Amino acid sequence: MNKRLSLTTMLAIVSFVSLVAQTTALVPYVGGYFVKDGDKWTEYRPADKTGKWSTYKQYKENDTFFYVENKKCRLAIPKLGKDMIFIDREKNNDWKQVYTTIDVHHQCTEPDGLFYCYNDGRGREHNGYYIRRDGGVWHEYAPGKKRGVWAEFKQIGEDKDYFIVESTENIVRIPKREGLNFIITKPGYDGWRGGYTTKAIYDRSAAYPYNFDFQNHGEAKRGNNFKVSKKGGRISLDNKCNLQIAYDGKHYDLVYQSIELADNHSGLLPLIAKSSECILITIDKDNRIFLYEGSARVECKKLGKKVLFLGASAKDFRAIAEQLRIGTFRM
């Protein structure tokens, strides 16, 4: 009896020490989420603002909360699955509830990710999330079951409602918006096998109607000489002048002034362009993007270098080009 009690106590202590020593976390709430990276915390509200909403410094913790602060306020963020986040606006210990958490994941090793959180119906320890990486790669995390990546997937398609990804074990349809749930099938089997309930979606690119997912990208060394890597990248845009460039784990949100069809000439990478025309996107006089069928060249000072993207589907290029040609691509 004493031995059993001792073993149980020891396991509880090990679990608690592991929790206290954790360095990363993902805490989604209704409308946004927090990411922990050591003592640094970042808050995002994708529906309200692209990029970071606010940053905080952790100043203490106990067995229930992480306590973080910035110049404006203090927050108490739940640590053990509580459902409330509290705020102390005046830093005078007058705590008020401000958010309701959706979940608490005690692991987030890819803080720049685009998160799709789920509930698999078997209790909190089985909940998890998918991260959409650039180049069509997806990672699934199930922090309650394993540290690190639970499974890796490759995107094999999409439609207006779902991204379709595949691993060696499963094909998963990941919803693009809340209100739809995850669908899991086996390769070679068309019937429904299982699924997850969608808890939250935080993807800055899912709202864009046009997405160019590239297999490779390269940065210019000099002139038109590029060192191409095996890492992917993405360019997303809409017809309201919003544009996003993503590669190497970074996302650049931009506003463009004009978009038009242009001739592919003047040495603008004729060897990689499959068409005699390109789509020219002008951000300003010093920043431009040339889209081709399956490739792109970015000349943008915000990125620091000229960047070449390769290996995308030509589907969205043709759709935009046709709308520009007949005058239906409205801004």
| pLDDT digit string, tens, across residues 41-71 | 999 887 666 668 899 999 999 989 999 999 9
Name residues whose C-beta falls within 8 Å of residue 145's C-beta, 6 or more positions apart in sequence: 125, 126, 128
Note the Cα 279 to chain centre separation in Å: 26
Query: What does the pLDDT read at residue 17?
Result: 38
CA distances from 278 to 32, 41, 281 (A): 37, 42, 10
Distance CA 150, CA 63 (A): 27
What mean pLDDT comes out for the span 203-220?
A: 80
Phi and psi torsions of 19, nearest 5°: -65, -45
Q: Alpha helix (H) ranges present in the chain? A: 2-20, 315-326
Task: Give this prediction's pTM.
Answer: 0.64
pLDDT tens-place string over residues 153-174:
999 887 778 889 999 889 999 9
pLDDT(27) > 70: yes
- Side by side, which strands form the sheet with 54-61? 24-29, 32-37, 40-44, 54-61, 65-69, 74-78, 84-88, 96-100
Q: What is the pLDDT of residue 90?
A: 95
3-state secondary structure of 90: coil
Q: Give me the amino acid identity at 223.
A: G
Encode pLDDT of 180-194 as tens digits. Answer: 999 999 877 766 677
More confident residue, 146 or 73: 73
Which pLDDT value is given to residue 130? Answer: 92
Report yes or no: 114 and 35 within 8 Å, Cβ to Cβ. no
pLDDT band at 207 (very low <50, low <70, confident <90, very high): low
In 3-state terms, what secondary structure has residue 215?
coil
DSSP secondary structure string for all residues of 135-151: TSEEEEE-TTT-SS-SE
Q: Whole-angstrom Cα distance, residue 320 to residue 331? A: 12
- Beta partners for residue 185, in sequence order: 171
Closest C-alpha among 275, 207, 289 to residue 245: 289
Buried b (16+ CB within 10 A) or exposed e, 37-66: eeeebbbbebeeeeeebbebebeebeeebb
Q: Tokens for 47, please give them.
A: 């529906």
pLDDT per position as a tens digit, 240-279: 898 988 887 677 888 999 999 988 754 445 445 556 789 9
Reported in sequence order, the residue ranges of 21-170 that DSSP labels E, i.e. its strands, are 24-29, 32-37, 40-44, 54-61, 65-69, 74-78, 84-88, 96-100, 114-119, 128-132, 137-141, 151-158, 162-166
Residues, the chain: 331
pLDDT score of 315 more than 60: yes
Q: Which amino acid is at 171?
A: I
Res 20: pLDDT = 41
